[in-house]
Structures are given as C-alpha cells and as structure tokens.
Amino acid sequence: MTPEKFVAEILGTFTLLLLGDGVVAGVLLAKSKANQTTGVGLYNGWIVITFGWGLAVFAGVAVAGTVSGAHINPAVTLAVFLTSLANNGNFGVDQLIGYWVAQFIGAMVAAAVVFYHYYPHWQETEDPVLKRAVFCTVPQIYHPWWNLFSEIVGTFALIFIGFSLSGGAPQIGGALGWGLLVLVIGISLGGTTGYAINPARDLGPRIMHAILPIPGKGDSDWGYSWIPVVGPLIGAAIGWAVYNYLGTQFMLKVVS
C-alpha cells in the first residue's frame, strides 16, 4: 500500500466520521441548536441523522476516491480483497491490513475531534446512553443474534448494491451514488441497530469513548461491540459472493 493511499484512507474515513458522528452529536446532545427535542426548527431526529450519514459518505468518497478508491470501511476493503483473490489480482493481505489500519486511525481521530467540538455539551447532557450513541451504535432492542443479523443484512445491501452500482470497483460508482445508498440503508434498515455497516465507524469511536474524558459517560458497552464488527464483515462477504457468483452470472445469461 502506497503512502498516498494510506493517507487518503485516513482522511476519507476521518471525513466520514467527523460529519457522521457530528450529526449524531448535534441531534442528541443537550443545548445543541440541532437537538431533536429542544433545538430550533422542525423535529430533526432520525431523518437528519440518516441524511447526515449519507452526505458524510458522499464527502468521504469525494476526499479519498481518486487516490485510494475511498473504501473508508473495512467491509468494503474486505470485498475488494475477495475480488482480487478470486481474480488473481494484486490487492493482497498487506493492502487489506494497511487499509484497515488507516481506516481505524481516521475514525479514532475524527471521534476525538467531535468530542472537543461539542465539548461544553457533554456536561449538559444527562443520559450516558445518548453520549455513547454519538460514538457508536446502540440497538433499540438488545438481542445479540438478531442484532447480528441486522448488521449482516445492512452490509450485504451496501456491498451487493454498491458493487452493482460501481461494477465491482467502489470509486467508479461515484460519491453521490454511495452516499444515496447509505442514506436509503439507514432509512430502511437502520431502525434496529443504528446500521453501523462499518467496523471502523463503530469500533474506532467506541475505543475513543472509553479513552476520552467525557463527563458522566458510563460504560462503552463492550459486550455489544463485537456485533458491529463481525456482522458487517460477514455481510460484506455474502454481498460480494452474491454479486460475483449469482448476480453477474444471472445477468450474463440474460444478455446472452
């Protein structure tokens, strides 16, 4: 992995998390102008969060796309690695690990910046669950296997539809296409677990939640933390397999 791609993945993932965690903080933290219950303007809870994350993906892909392909998500990188493996490509284990490391660095730095950006609001917010939700996902109903299933389905949709959109190469689909895809996944499938669909997006900021001096933050819910990591990786593998061995073969038969 070249230094340019490494830095691009850091910056792209940093952009994604800065704006994604930022919109959650704006909606959930007390005395924010965007707060869902006390802020100015219209009610702006889940709709604003899902639109914010969709636009955050758009921005992250725009930042890194021309340099690294803008994976900005270990699940996407895994799918690219599997594609290379199946086609004797040159995206090896070293690049897989390099992309993952860069993504986690970008996510963790962004989480720290969001914390300091909203610094006065943490003290004003009483609920520790809301504080944790700024950094990582919180399921509405704790049920490990169904929560895992939700993350698998959401990431399956991301990879299968995203690769269909982009012909198997994330950067080709364009920033807007991937942003709209994440938006519709959030609106349609995100109500169960908060649709992490990205291990770096969840685990990186969760680590920072544990480290940062957040007033009254409570625990980091490590018992749940494996689900937003394992689920997206399984979903990515399934989405990649369906795209490559079912979807493309079906389309070839239709065309022929």
Instruction: List the chain residues with pLDDT less than 70.
Output: 38-44, 166-173, 247-256
Give the single-character DSSP code of 106. H
Task: Tell me the one-letter amino acid at 54.
Answer: G
Per-residue pLDDT tens over the stretch 112-139: 999 999 999 999 999 999 999 999 999 9
Terminal CA-CA length for the chain? 38
The total domain count for the chain is 1
Q: Report which of 60, 52, 54 is spatially closest to residue 27, judged by C-alpha positions.
A: 52
* Residue 148, CA atoms < 13 Å, CB-side half-sphere: 11
| Residue 231, domain CATH | 1.20.1080.10
Per-residue pLDDT tens over the stretch 157-199: 999 999 888 665 555 457 888 999 999 999 999 999 999 999 9
- 105 CB-near residues (< 8 Å, 6+ apart): 10, 13, 204
pTM of the predicted structure, to 2 decimals? 0.91
Phi, then psi, of 191 in degrees rounded to 5: -70, -15
Token digits for 119?
Answer: 């610094």
Q: What's the rounded Cα separation, in Å, for the pair 13 and 50?
A: 17
Is the separation of the CB atoms in 121 and 31 below 8 Å?
yes
Token digits for 120?
Answer: 């006065």
Specify the residue for token string 């799918």.
79
Q: What is the residue range of 213's domain?
A: 3-255
Cα separations (Å) of 142 from 137, 138, 146, 171? 12, 9, 8, 35
Is the separation of the CB atoms in 203 and 229 below 8 Å?
yes
The predicted pLDDT at position 43 comes to: 47
